[in-house]
Structure 1
Amino acid sequence: MLTPVNAPGGAFPGVSQAMQISGGDLLILSGHVGTDENGNLVEGGFEGQLRATYNNLKATLAVAGVGFEAVARMTHYVSEFDPSLLPILRKVRAEFINNDAPPSAALIPVVQLYDKAVLVEVDGIAVLPSKTRIG
């Protein structure tokens, strides 16, 4: 259902420049943050929060009956972004996404998210097989 579209050159590692969607239903993923099962922000700085964020996305996708292979697009909102965070983001992201057909993506530096302690938020778009019904 998802086919990466990449022109020669100019690409970032682990990111498709575009994603063609063929069939299926869209699943819009709200902004997820690095909280534990009780809704408390996890410790561990940027990497700890990012890993928890991806685990929370994974849990949401599982409820929909899919995994990261269904994710077509992701947006990362990073509070007080510094370029030294990019290798951490790429490393953690690569542990979860479909690296053979990585989703298209954007990184948006922000001054602050809804709480000063929240360092990263990720939202996205996934595609469910047409016959998938949640609930």
Structure 2
Amino acid sequence: MSSKKIERLGDDRTGAGGQPLPFAPAVRAGDFVFISGQVAMKENGEIEAGGIESQTRKTMENLINALALADCTLDDIAKVGVWLDDPRDFWTFNRIYASYFPNGGPARSTVRSQIMVDAKVEIDAVVYKPLDQS
């Protein structure tokens, strides 16, 4: 960890068409890690095709990758925020999301919202993982 109190983690990311994204995928602030909202964006910056099932899986994969930037896992998450584009997707989303947390998930809020990109779901997270693990 650098001597900074806030450390931005992850390389420069780009969205569709190579447009730079003006935010870090993860930020460590002391014992907390904040994961930026993850959507079903593929490596090429395009959104995963398909419905809520494939987009939820890709979003969770992206969340796991962002957590890894701070040496964290799903088990370290204290709270997530979920935005769904369509409330009719809630039960399908919930079933897939729950499969990633077989022992129960973190605290969570879920709301309906029009998402800024053509995605069906967005998830952010707050992680608690002390720097001093002794």
Fold-level match, TM-score > 0.5?
yes
Q: Which structure 2 residues correspond to residues 1-135 of structure 1 after superposition, within 5 A? A: 25-82=31-88, 85-97=89-101, 99-110=102-113, 112-115=114-117, 117-131=118-132
How many residues were matched structurally?
104
TM superposition outliers: structure 1 runs of 4+ over 3 Å:
none
Which amino acid in the other structure matches residue 107 of structure 1? T
Deviation digits for residues 68-105 of structure 1 (CA, Å, limit 9, x no counterpart): 000110111011322xx2221222112223x3352000
| Distance (Å, rounded) in 2 between the aligned partners of 1:118 and 1:78 | 9
Give the TM-score taking structure 2 as reference length.
Answer: 0.70
Deviation digits for residues 93-125 of structure 1 (CA, Å, limit 9, x no counterpart): 12223x335200011111x2112x211111110
DSSP-derived class of the 2:131 partner? coil
- What 5-or-longer segments of structure 2 have no aligned partner? 1-29
Bigger relative contact order, structure 1 or 2, given CA contacts below 8 A and separation 6+? Answer: 1
| Distance (Å, rounded) in 2 between the aligned partners of 1:39 and 1:131 | 36
| Distance (Å, rounded) in 1 between the aligned partners of 2:50 and 2:60 | 14
Give the TM-score taking structure 1 as reference length.
Answer: 0.70
Deviation digits for residues 12-41 of structure 1 (CA, Å, limit 9, x no counterpart): xxxxxxxxxxxx711111111001122210
